[in-house]
Amino acid sequence: MAMVRSLVLAVAVAVSAAGTAAQDKSPAGSLTDVTGEWVMMIEGHQIGLELDQKADQVVGIMHAMGQRILLIGTFADRKLTLKGERPEDQLPHGNSEAGPITATMLDNGTLEGELSTNRGRTKWTGERFKKPQR
């Protein structure tokens, strides 16, 4: 009987811990997680952005003009900050004033921010990629 109680207690503790862990993990697609595929709009151009978030750390790939730019950064309090993972990814077209890619997650789930181009800091918007319905 004592063994059954111990087993029931162990199962209850495991279920409780799993529930707590699930609550700590924000689902992709929420206002607190940027994981997924995004379409960035920059000066009329569409650029692909793939992001993967673990806690407040973010890694990603920007697909721009046939190039894949590796990115690292953070997402906390609905603020996204990304920079090139390699030194050559940090300064687009030799622009020594290049800064990070920044954005804020808006209430509607879109991103709005700034990034550096060869013409200086430029505003951009982003929304999650929506796969076509069949």
Query: What digits encode the pLDDT tens for the residues 7-59?
Result: 333 333 333 333 333 344 567 778 999 999 999 999 999 999 999 999 999 99
The distance in angstroms from the start CA to the end CA of the chain is 56
Q: Looking at residue 69, which CATH number applies to its domain?
A: 2.40.128
**Which of 108, 113, 107 lies closest to 125 in space, CA to CA?**
113
Q: How confident is the model at residue 6 (pLDDT cuts 50, 70, 90)?
A: very low
Q: Is residue 99 part of a domain?
A: yes
- The answer to whether 116 and 122 have CB atoms below 8 angstroms apart is yes
Distance in angstroms (rounded) separating the CA atoms of residues 65 and 50: 15
Task: Provide the domain limits for residue 52.
Answer: 36-128
Q: Is the pTM of this model over 0.75?
A: no
Residue 16 maps to a domain: no
Query: Bridge partners of 122?
Result: 115
Domain total in the chain: 1
Q: Is residue 88 part of a domain?
A: yes
Report yes or no on 110 lying in a domain.
yes
Total number of residues shown for the chain:
134
The answer to whether residue 15 sits within a structural domain is no
Q: Is residue 9 part of a domain?
A: no
Give the pLDDT of residue 125: 98
Spatial distance between the Cα atoms of 21 and 99, rounded to a whole number of angstroms: 35
H runs (alpha helix) in the chain: 2-24, 87-90
**Which two structure tokens, joined as six digits, stand for 125?**
């918007």
31 in a structural domain: no
pLDDT in tens, 45-86: 999 999 999 999 999 999 988 899 999 999 999 999 999 886
pLDDT, mean of residues 110-123: 92
| pLDDT value, residue 133 | 80
Residue matched to tokens 């407040």: 56
**Which residues, 6 or more positions from 117, have their beta carbon under 8 angstroms from its beta carbon?**
42, 43, 92, 93, 95
Read off the pLDDT of each residue in 104-117 and give the average, rounded to a whole number: 95
